Structure formats: C-alpha cells, structure tokens
C-alpha cells in the first residue's frame, strides 16, 4: 500500500496515476475541498490531520510500504512528521518537490524568509496589500502594527470555514476574494487593478500553483512583489517529476 500526502493538485494527479497503474493507494488530504477533488478519481481517502504519532499508527495499521510526500512546499510540519514517522518504522519515504518559479527576470521583487517579514515589508511598499498566500497566516498580517492603517485584501479558497475565519479576523466582505485558483495572467491583472493593489504578497508555489502568472501580472502593472522563500527541509529521496516517482515506486514494489 502507498500513502500519498496529497494536499495539492499535482499530488492528487500523481495518486490517480499510481492507482491507474495498478498500485493500491490511500490519499491523505487535510481539507474537505481536497477530499471532494480526490473523490472524483474514486480513490481511498483519509481526511484527518496526522501528527507524527498518528502518522506512525496510520502507516503501521494500513501496512504502508511507501509514503510519497507531495504536500505543499510550505507545509513544513506535514513533511517533517512524515520523514520522522517513516524513519522510526523503516518505511520508504519519497518527496515530490514541485519546481519553483524562476525569479531572475523580475526586478521589483523583495524576498523574505517568513510571514512576519512579509507583513512588515508590505507596510513599507504600499497602502493596499493584496495577499495571495492563502488563509493559514492571515492573522500575522492583521496583527502587524505597521499595517493597521492599510487596506489588506485576502484572496482565499471559497470555503465557508475560510471565509468565516477572514470575517473573524476583521476582514470586510469587500476585502475577501474567495475564488479557486490558480488564475490566468489576465485574471490576476484585472484583480490587482480593480482592487487598487499597491503591493502583492505571494509564495513561490511554482507554475502549478500560479506563481508565474502572479509575477507576470504584477510586472505588467509595475507592482512590487514580496515573495516568501520556501522553507528549508532536509528531505530524504527527493524528486521533481512523475517519471522519477514511478521508477522509485517500481523499485520499492
């Protein structure tokens, strides 16, 4: 049995390919939205969050022989829990790391190491801050003293719980953009322009995460972009394409 940690579109695509190739696969997702998408491919799905102890038990109870970690590049805790759980059980671990977007061609770019730095830097670059970083760290921007007089736009998933979180944090409905991405260059450009964005905050989620079109739209409008660098994790057995994954799976099984 293969456990695929699939909180992303490319993870679900990989799991579907493995299932179609005849492998037994369990897909682990953390949101109901991800569950609905994975269910479209008729796969076995696990939806509860797993800490390290729970992951150890899950791997043992389901006779998992290989864990393929396709979690989001910024989901550090998920990866660390998986690495430690696999190590403790002597189970194979493989990390799929989606390619990052090249940043060399964009000049008005400001790289930071975390959300706190991003919030502080955004306050210096514009009065209207357009967040494209998801919902998990919105409180960091709302709590930043330098941003108290700024307008902050949050682009998030159209999930009722996420929208409720935005409202609870003090976002007005007019400052919540609840849409499922990734978005085209044209749609990004229209959104940035219509909301009067003066600075864009993003993560380097790669092309499949829409980073390329965010950057190109910002460049078209000559907007400064703050990009939060990917966190550093000491992955075991890392690959960046499906062919290498399939080769590894064949070796394990």
Backbone conformation region of residue 236, classed left if phi is above 0, alpha if psi is from -120 to 50, else beta: beta
Nearest to 189 by CA among 210, 173, 203, 166: 210
Spans of the chain, pLDDT less than 70: 30-44, 46-48
Same fold, 2-98+232-252 and 109-228: yes
Q: Does domain 109-228 have CATH number 1.20.120.430?
A: no
**Are the C-beta atoms of residues 101 and 212 closer than 8 Å to each other?**
yes
Output phi, psi for 235, to 5 deg: -75, 150
Rounded CA-CA distance 118/140 in Å is 9
Rounded CA-CA distance 144/48 in Å is 31
Output phi, psi for 159, to 5 deg: -110, 130
What are the tens digits of pLDDT across the range 116-164? 999 999 999 999 999 999 998 999 999 999 999 999 999 999 999 999 9
Rounded CA-CA distance 205/120 in Å is 21
Q: Name residue 67's beta-bridge partners.
A: 3, 93
What's the DSSP call for residue 162? H
The pair of structure tokens assigned to 215 is 């950057």
Query: Where do the domains of the chain lie?
Result: 2-98+232-252, 109-228
Q: Which CATH number fits domain 2-98+232-252: 3.30.70.270, 3.40.50.720, 3.30.1490.20, 3.90.550.10?
A: 3.40.50.720
- Predicted pLDDT of residue 37: 47
CA angle at 155 for the pair 31 and 230, rounded to the nearest 5°: 70
pTM, rounded to two decimals: 0.84
| Secondary structure of 94-108 in HEC code, one letter for each residue | EEECCCCCCCCCCCC
């Amino acid at each position: 049995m293969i456990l695929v940690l699939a909180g992303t579109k490319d993870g679900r695509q990989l799991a579907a390919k493995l299932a179609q190739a005849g492998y037994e696969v369990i897909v682990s997702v953390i949101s109901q939205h991800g569950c609905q998408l994975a269910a479209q491919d008729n796969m076995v799905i696990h939806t509860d969050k797993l800490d390290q102890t729970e992951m150890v038990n899950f791997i043992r109870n389901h006779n998992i022989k290989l864990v393929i970690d396709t979690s989001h590049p910024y989901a550090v805790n998920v990866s660390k829990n998986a690495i430690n759980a696999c190590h403790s059980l002597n189970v194979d671990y493989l990390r799929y790391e989606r390619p990052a977007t090249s940043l060399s061609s964009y000049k008005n770019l400001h790289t930071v190491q975390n959300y706190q730095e991003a919030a502080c830097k955004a306050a210096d670059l514009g009065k209207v801050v357009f967040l494209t970083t998801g919902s998990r760290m919105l409180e960091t921007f709302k709590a930043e003293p330098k941003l108290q007089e700024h307008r902050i736009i949050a682009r998030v998933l159209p999930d009722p719980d996420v929208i409720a979180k935005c409202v609870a944090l003090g976002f007005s409905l007019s400052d919540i953009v609840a849409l499922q991405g990734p978005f085209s260059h044209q749609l990004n450009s229209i959104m940035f322009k219509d909301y009067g964005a003066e600075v864009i905050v993003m993560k380097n989620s790669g092309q499949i995460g829409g980073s390329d079109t965010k950057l190109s739209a910002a460049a078209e409008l000559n907007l400064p972009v703050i990009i939060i660098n990917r966190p550093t994790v000491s992955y075991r057995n890392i690959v960046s394409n499906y062919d290498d994954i399939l080769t590894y799976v064949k070796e394990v099984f």
